């Protein structure tokens, strides 16, 4: 397999990791909440897409719009009913709460869709030639949409009034409140946006990966590796680390096998934790 094909494959995979990790990192950056239920929102997004497209004959692009709205609503309920009540509690309390929510969502998905695998093999079929490499349309579309949305959200955070409010709440919540910014509204919107990004990641994975209620667990672990390498709370760090780790996983899998290829991600994560615990572009702990 030529180096170009490995690089392209790694970048395509990294785009999906970026969308997943950026939503997770956005929530942490604003609220300092590590959301263990983030992967389940992605799995619900993937399974809902299969149901809409294969079960109810919706066009795939309708799922791209509808499913993130669904997962944003689920995320908003999670925040309003549970996490908002733990806003001033120690971080271990929110960790336990999101772990409990994760378990609830997994079991709800099993009750709804069963425990088997579902997929959309006929959606976005075919391939195109890119840099001399045949790339499946489903992977190319997933990468383009995932990276495009990740960069668009970054632009919103950097250039808009909402983004300034989000950064204010993240960096100095007390000063933001004095300035008239509604902290709870910003946190609600941020959590819903992060949940929508997880749902969109699930939509984009549905045509390429077999989906089941445990799908989120497998990808969440890699999303954690991405944000630890890029830096907890750093949005650009998450994008850069996702693309890097996608390339490392694909190249490592080709050279050493799939199991060791995946293990390389976590070896790199451990190395970063030992050398630079804040990650490459991390914001560090807030005091």
| Residue in the structure block whose two tokens are 């969109």 | 200
**CA neighbor of 11 nearest in space, from 251, 206, 194, 227:** 251
Helix (H) or strand (E) holding 191, with range, is helix 183-205
Residues forming a β-bridge with 127: 136
pLDDT digits (tens, 9 = 90+) for 206-254: 988 888 998 888 888 888 888 888 887 778 888 888 988 888 888 888 8
Positions of E strands within the chain: 127-130, 133-136
Q: How far is CA 17 from CA 6, 182, 223, 257, 285, in A?
A: 16, 31, 6, 20, 24
pTM to 2 decimal places: 0.90
pLDDT by residue, tens only, the chain of 287 residues: 578 788 888 888 888 899 999 898 888 888 888 899 999 999 999 999 999 998 898 999 999 999 999 999 999 999 999 999 888 888 889 999 999 999 999 999 999 998 888 888 778 878 888 777 788 888 899 999 999 999 999 999 889 999 999 888 888 888 888 888 888 999 999 999 999 999 999 999 998 888 899 888 888 888 888 888 888 777 888 888 898 888 888 888 887 777 777 788 788 888 888 888 777 776 554 43
**CA neighbor of 20 nearest in space, from 251, 242, 246:** 242
Other beta carbons within 10 angstroms of residue 69's beta carbon come to 11
Structure tokens at 17: 């990791």
Task: Note whether 173 and 185 are within 8 A (CB).
Answer: no
| Residue in the structure block whose two tokens are 């045949």 | 134
**CA neighbor of 109 nearest in space, from 24, 20, 27, 49:** 49
């Amino acid at each position: 397999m030529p180096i170009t094909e490995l690089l392209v494959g790694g970048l395509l995979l990294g785009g999906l990791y970026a969308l997943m990790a950026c939503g997770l990192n956005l929530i942490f950056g604003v609220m300092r909440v590590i959301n263990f239920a983030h992967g389940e929102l992605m799995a619900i997004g993937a399974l809902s897409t299969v149901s809409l497209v294969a079960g109810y004959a919706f066009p795939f692009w309708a799922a791209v719009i509808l499913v993130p709205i669904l997962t944003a609503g689920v995320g908003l309920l999670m925040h309003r009913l549970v996490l908002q009540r733990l806003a001033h509690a120690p971080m271990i309390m929110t960790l336990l709460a999101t772990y409990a929510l994760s378990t609830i969502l997994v079991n709800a998905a099993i009750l709804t869709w069963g425990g088997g695998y579902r997929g959309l093999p006929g959606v976005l079929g075919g391939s195109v030639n890119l840099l001399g490499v045949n790339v499946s349309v489903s992977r190319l579309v997933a990468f383009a949409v995932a990276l495009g949305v990740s960069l668009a959200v970054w632009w919103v955070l950097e250039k808009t009034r909402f983004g300034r409010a989000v950064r204010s709440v993240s960096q100095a919540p007390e000063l933001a409140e004095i300035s008239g910014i509604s902290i709870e509204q910003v946190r609600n919107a941020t959590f819903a946006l992060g949940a929508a990004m997880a749902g969109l990641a699930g939509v984009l994975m549905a045509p390429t990966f077999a989906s089941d209620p445990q799908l989120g667990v497998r990808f969440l672990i890699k999303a954690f590796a991405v944000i630890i390498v890029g830096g907890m709370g750093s949005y650009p760090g998450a994008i850069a680390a996702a693309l890097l780790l996608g390339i490392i996983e694909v190249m490592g899998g080709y050279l050493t096998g799939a199991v060791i290829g995946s293990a390389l991600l976590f070896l790199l994560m451990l190395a970063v934790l030992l050398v630079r615990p804040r990650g490459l572009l991390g914001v560090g702990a807030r005091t």
